[in-house]
Chain A
Amino acid sequence: MSEINILGIETSCDETAAAVVVNGREVRSNIISSQIALHTLYGGVVPEIASRKHVEKINQVISAALSEASMTFDDIDAIAVTYGPGLVGALLVGVSAAKAISFARGIDLVGVHHIEGHISANYIEDKELEPPFICLVASGGHSHLVKVADYGVYEILGRTRDDAAGEAFDKVARAIGLGYPGGPKIDAVAKEGNPEAIPFPRASFKDNDYDFSFSGLKSAVLNYLNQCEMKGEEIVRADVAASFQAAVVDVLVGHTIHAVKESGLNKVALAGGVASNSCLRETMKNACEENGFSFYRPSPILCTDNAAMIAAAGYYEYMKGVRSDLTLNAIPNLKLGER
């Protein structure tokens, strides 16, 4: 089999990233320029600042991805670029640069869905993994339970009806004074706490077993903190973090295992920034072992926003003959499985 080299470009939020991946599975380079330190000043990602930083970094990041892979544009078969969902101003930087390079060098262009990228990170991590499988996608902007029927073929089983899981982490982290980004900070503090100290609610819906809701949980945490303050009771941060995290993880794992059983499949994958959460990884692993399911999860570096995953997703689209033209636009609310 000949080697297909895909240059991935990702600028949907606050990481400027480029990568070269061979045949959808072998990472030759994976460059990520993070803006987290800058956005920490504002307690979250500021879209205008993110967009400005992407423009400043985009060329360096692409050049670094090529040189680390010991390649030039001549070696690249296609450019895969995230065109949604995400922050429109941020997406436009990657899309504009990708189209210009594609045009200037006559390289094929493939627009990639950001979440399809996150799911495809599993193909890089585990060379044997093939569809079909059930994937839980959880990040700062997304919470989806997806049946991956084939490469690039997705069926959404459930989604969040309000906050994304990662969003809930950020909001609760802010409320208990841990700051931004909330996910890693709660993960760390929760290790010192008792996950059963406070019985926070687990939301479920009668009309869809697989949908999520995290805003009620977030409110319950805020109410608990208020009540403690009014009663003059001490707030044990580690216990709040651990109990909140346990509530999120319970629901994510419970829904996922339920979906796998109902689907008749036996493979479970994680994707998205929240997939780095150590409690989620451990709990899902144990639940899969109990049920005899195979469990797949990307390394943390592939869970965060990166371009290797975009190149991997782009590879399978490219092999199916999917191409984007020079009218490719950023679509901030792009739906999974749509073009």
Chain B
Amino acid sequence: MKILAIESSSLVASVAIVDEENVIAEYSVNHKKTHSQTLMPMLDEIVRMTETDLESIDHIAISVGPGSFTGLRIGVATAKGLGLALDKKLVAVPTLGAMAYNLCDYPGLVVSVMDARRNQVYTGIYRFEDQKPICVMDQIPMDRLELIQKVRELSGSDVYAPIFLGDGVEVIKNTLNEVDDFKARFALPHLSRQKASAVGLLAIELAKKGELVDASELKPVYLRLSQAERERLEKGQSIEV
């Protein structure tokens, strides 16, 4: 199964072509330049460099969120356009689950964190058995102190300390100053960010389970309403038409 994978949920822009055996190509850039300008030229580059016939791609994998609303939309609209033009199904890959997949050999809890501002992180908690992910807590926005408490409970009897990864690690490190007796590890930089290869490899697992989506139906997983909608709900007003 050959997968073309796209990841643009954060500052990292990343594209990859993978199959069960290989990461055939991967191109990641973690630099301040808008994904709108980088993502398609990067994709063009890896497709040409690997002489990939787009018809040979089975599915398109997209990191659907959470993350930067604009970043997610650029990636999702790109994936939807590819799916429509090539008549291929999409695989909607949870961003934090794919990131945790970077550490699929770790024997303890793997905690993906993205800075969600307002004292929160987007987080998902995973364990791996035989390198297969088991979702312990699905991705949600969570208060940083609450997350530490949650991880403490979940990892209580573990031999290995929980390991954190993602751009929310700084938030967690700062939070650790406020709590006692909590041991944690942090992933090294080459494993600590979103990668399209991980999105693609997790997509293969999902696709095997039949988790395919029509390009027309796919949408980002924001995990948060827009500010205007939140304000209406706070006033007790409906957001449905």
Chains A and B are bound partners: yes
> Do residues A55 and B216 form an inter-chain contact, with CB atoms below 8 A?
no
> Do residues A49 and B226 form an inter-chain contact, with CB atoms below 8 A?
yes
Q: Is B85 an interface residue (CB 8 A)?
A: yes
**Across-interface contacts of B77 in A (CB, < 8 A):** 54-55, 58, 92-94, 96-97, 100
The B contact surface, by secondary structure, is: helix
Determine which of A49, A55, A58, A62 lies in contact with B220 in the assembled complex, contact meaning CB atoms within 8 Å.
Answer: A55
> Do residues B232 and A41 form an inter-chain contact, with CB atoms below 8 A?
yes
Closest chain A CB from B58 CB (angstroms): 15
| Residues 33-59 of A contacting B (Cβ, < 8 Å) | 37-38, 40-42, 46, 48-49, 51-52, 54-56, 58-59
> Do residues B36 and A55 form an inter-chain contact, with CB atoms below 8 A?
no
User: For residue A56, which residue of chain B has the nearest CB?
Assistant: B219
Determine which of A100, A101, A327 lies in contact with B37 in the assembled complex, contact meaning CB atoms within 8 Å.
Answer: A327
Closest chain A CB from B99 CB (angstroms): 22
| Residues 53-93 of A contacting B (Cβ, < 8 Å) | 54-56, 58-60, 62-63, 73, 88-89, 92-93
Q: Is A231 an interface residue (CB 8 A)?
A: no
Closest chain B CB from A9 CB (angstroms): 10
Q: Is A99 an interface residue (CB 8 A)?
A: yes
> Do residues B73 and A51 form an inter-chain contact, with CB atoms below 8 A?
yes
Determine which of A51, A58, A105 lies in contact with B85 in the assembled complex, contact meaning CB atoms within 8 Å.
Answer: A105
**Given A49-B228, A101-B85: A58 and B80 within 8 A (CB)?**
yes
**Given A41-B232, A51-B69, A56-B219: A96 and B36 within 8 A (CB)?**
yes
> Do residues B81 and A97 form an inter-chain contact, with CB atoms below 8 A?
yes
| Residues 2-45 of B contacting A (Cβ, < 8 Å) | 34, 36-37, 39-41, 43-44
Bound-complex Cα distance A62 to B227 (A): 29
Count of B residues near A, CB < 8 Å? 38
> Do residues B219 and A42 form an inter-chain contact, with CB atoms below 8 A?
no
Determine which of A46, A63, A95, A328 lies in contact with B216 in the assembled complex, contact meaning CB atoms within 8 Å.
Answer: A63
Q: Which of B83, B85, B237 has the most CB of A within 10 A?
A: B85
**Given A60-B216, A89-B69, A326-B44: A96 and B37 within 8 A (CB)?**
no
Determine which of B36, B228, B229 lies in contact with A92 in the assembled complex, contact meaning CB atoms within 8 Å.
Answer: B36
**Across-interface contacts of A99 in B (CB, < 8 A):** 40, 78, 81
Bound-complex Cα distance A329 to B34 (A): 9
Closest chain A CB from B72 CB (angstroms): 9
User: For residue A48, which residue of chain B has the nearest CB?
Assistant: B226
Count of A residues near B, CB < 8 Å? 39
User: For residue B86, which residue of chain A has the nearest CB?
Assistant: A104
**Given A37-B241, A93-B73, A329-B37: A48 and B78 within 8 A (CB)?**
no
Closest chain A CB from B57 CB (angstroms): 10
Bound-complex Cα distance A327 to B34 (A): 10
> Do residues A59 and B216 form an inter-chain contact, with CB atoms below 8 A?
yes
Q: Is B70 an interface residue (CB 8 A)?
A: yes
**Given A48-B69, A55-B73, A326-B40: A100 and B85 within 8 A (CB)?**
yes
**Across-interface contacts of B40 in A (CB, < 8 A):** 96, 99-100, 103, 326-327
Task: Tell me the total A-B contact number using a CB cutoff of 8 A.
Answer: 113
Closest chain A CB from B66 CB (angstroms): 14
In the complex, per-residue mask of A142-169: 1 if CB is within 8 Å of any chain B CB, else 0: 0000000000000000000000000000
In the complex, per-residue mask of A13-38: 1 if CB is within 8 Å of any chain B CB, else 0: 00000000000000000000000011
| Residues 37-55 of B contacting A (Cβ, < 8 Å) | 37, 39-41, 43-44, 54
| Residues 296-333 of A contacting B (Cβ, < 8 Å) | 326-330
> Do residues B232 and A96 form an inter-chain contact, with CB atoms below 8 A?
no
User: For residue A37, which residue of chain B has the nearest CB?
Assistant: B241
Determine which of A40, A42, A89, A100 lies in contact with B70 in the assembled complex, contact meaning CB atoms within 8 Å.
Answer: A89
| Residues 67-104 of B contacting A (Cβ, < 8 Å) | 69-70, 73-74, 76-86
Bound-complex Cα distance A27 to B54 (A): 31
**Across-interface contacts of B216 in A (CB, < 8 A):** 59-60, 63
Closest chain A CB from B9 CB (angstroms): 14
**Across-interface contacts of A40 in B (CB, < 8 A):** 241
Q: Is A115 an interface residue (CB 8 A)?
A: no
**Given A92-B73, A327-B40: A101 and B226 within 8 A (CB)?**
no
> Do residues B228 and A46 form an inter-chain contact, with CB atoms below 8 A?
yes
Closest 10 A-B residue pairs measured CB to CB? A100-B81, A96-B77, A104-B85, A97-B81, A48-B226, A326-B40, A59-B216, A101-B85, A46-B228, A100-B78
A-B contact pairs, 17 of them (CB 8 A): A41-B237, A42-B232, A46-B226, A48-B226, A49-B226, A51-B69, A56-B219, A58-B80, A59-B84, A60-B216, A92-B36, A93-B73, A96-B39, A97-B81, A98-B81, A100-B82, A103-B40
Contacts A55-B76, A329-B36 supplied; 7 other A-B pairs, CB < 8 Å: A52-B73, A56-B219, A89-B69, A96-B77, A97-B81, A100-B79, A104-B54
